[in-house]
Each structure stands twice: as structure tokens, then as C-alpha cells.
Amino acid sequence: MKSIELIVYGAEVLCPSCVNLPSSKETYEWLEAAVSRKFPNQPFTITYVDIYNPPSDDGNKKQFAERVIEEDLFYPVVVIENEIVGEGNPKLKTIYSEMEKFGYHAVEI
């Protein structure tokens, strides 16, 4: 199985439409814990990208961070293999379903 990368694009400041939701960083940490529990011992990476300070050495992440700002996407935006799978308040069920398409097998908790 190929290890996939989940990327959480967000910012320190909450998006205007996401006032009562967790911060992007909190969502990233929550997602990392939830995915690790659901797919134990299965390789994946999860990366947090600050949309206002993206990594300068990764053109794809920098370009997508700019897109989040330009298109006023609700962040955090969760991306798996170049597909947006969650925006604003990402749903675990949708993220799990996308990972299963790549051969991940859920372990019931």
C-alpha cells in the first residue's frame, strides 16, 4: 500500500464563517489522532500548512495555499492526494472513505 499524505491547510485566525469551530491547528491534531486510531499500523503522513506562511520549498503546497485565500475556501481545508475532502468543518466519515479508496482498512474501535 502506498503511503498517502493528508494536508490540512489553515491559519491561526479562524475563518469568518467558522467562528464556533476548532482552529485549523486543533483540527489538524484531532484529525491526526482520529486517523491513527482508525487505520493503525498503516502508513500515512499528515501535514499542516499555514496558508499565510506556506513552505517555500514546495511549489504545490504554496500554490494551493494561495488558492485557499484567493477562492475564499473555508479553512481548514483537508486535501488527500490533490482532492479536497473537507472544508471548514471536515467530516471524518468523508476522510475515512477517501482513504479506503487508497487501500486503507478501517479497524473498528
For residue 109, tell me if it sits in a domain: no
For residue 95, tell me if it sits in a domain: yes
Sheet harboring 77-80: ordered strands across?
44-50, 4-10, 77-80, 83-87
For residue 107, tell me if it sits in a domain: no
SS3 37: helix
**pTM of the predicted structure, to 2 decimals:** 0.91
CATH number at residue 86: 3.40.30.30
pLDDT at 107: 82
List per-residue pLDDT tens for the chain, 109 residues long: 789 999 999 998 876 666 778 889 999 999 999 999 999 999 999 999 999 999 989 999 999 999 999 998 989 999 999 999 999 889 999 999 999 999 999 887 5
For residue 79, tell me if it sits in a domain: yes
Total domains in the chain come to: 1
For residue 106, tell me if it sits in a domain: no
Domain span at 47: 4-101
Give Cα separations from 13 to 8, 67, 68, 83, 97 (angstroms): 14, 17, 14, 24, 29
Provide the terminal-to-terminal Cα distance of the chain, rounded to the nearest Å: 22
